[in-house]
Every structure is written in C-alpha cells, then in structure tokens.
Amino acid sequence: MDGGSYFERATCLNVTVTCTEKLMAITFTPEMNFKGKLYLQGYSEHSECYSVGQGYRMVMLKIPLLDQHCGLTVARSKGLNNRTLLSANMVLQYNPLIQAQGDRLIRVGCIFSNDN
C-alpha cells in the first residue's frame, strides 16, 4: 500500500486495578520474571508510589487514596449520580534504574459512586 504507515503491535499487558475506599492496588503479571519498577509518573522516588519487582511473575503497587501523595488526579461529576474518578499515569519500567523505549505508560484509575 503506497503512503501507508506500518506499526508493530505492542504486546498486551496483564495489568489489573482493584479499588477499595482507601487503596488502589495495581497488579502486573508478566509472562517472565520481573525485576523492573512500577511507579506513578513523577513519583518514582516516593516510597509509597512505587514498587520494585523481586524476580517473580507478579508485582503489586498499592497506592493510598486518602493522602494523595502520589499525584492522583481527582475528577468529580455533578448531577444526580455522584461519581468520583481518581486516576494517574503508571510507568512500567523494565529496568529498575534505566528508562528505555520499551517501557510503558498506562492510565489507571478508580471510579467511586453513591451507588456502591
């Protein structure tokens, strides 16, 4: 195809987000043992905002929601359905010390409403 752009498809990541009233738990389950780092963008050196893989096939980052030390963005709805979105950009860095082109930036968040 002339004038077309071709891109390599990125590998899907096994990332889940679980929310409670006090905590956002982000779990990354890679296909291989992980020794990299998960952190919220801009907070790579704040101890409550990052987690370093220990060479296992699972790493979890637990972000406290009440303190908002990790730069969480808050968005509130107006109207009959009161909803609040707490979100941030999480960096998945494959080397704990060096950022590389293959690292990923993932938007994560929790929605709270008066329904639940």
Structural domain spans, the chain: 15-113
* Calpha distance 116→110 (Å, rounded): 12
Burial class (CB in 10 A: 0-12, 13-18, 19+), 79: exposed
Q: Does domain 15-113 have CATH number 3.30.1300.10?
A: no
The pLDDT of residue 2 is 67
| CA dist., res. 60 & res. 42, Å (int) | 18
pLDDT digits (tens, 9 = 90+) for 38-83: 999 999 999 999 999 999 999 999 999 987 789 999 999 887 778 8
How high does pLDDT run on average in the chain?
90
Judged by DSSP in three states, 39 sits in strand
User: Global pTM?
Assistant: 0.84
- CA atoms of 49 and 64, how far apart (whole Å): 9
Would you call 112 helix, strand, or coil by DSSP?
A: strand
Q: Quick one: pLDDT at residue 19? A: 95
Can you list the alpha helix ranges (DSSP code H) found in 16-75? Answer: none
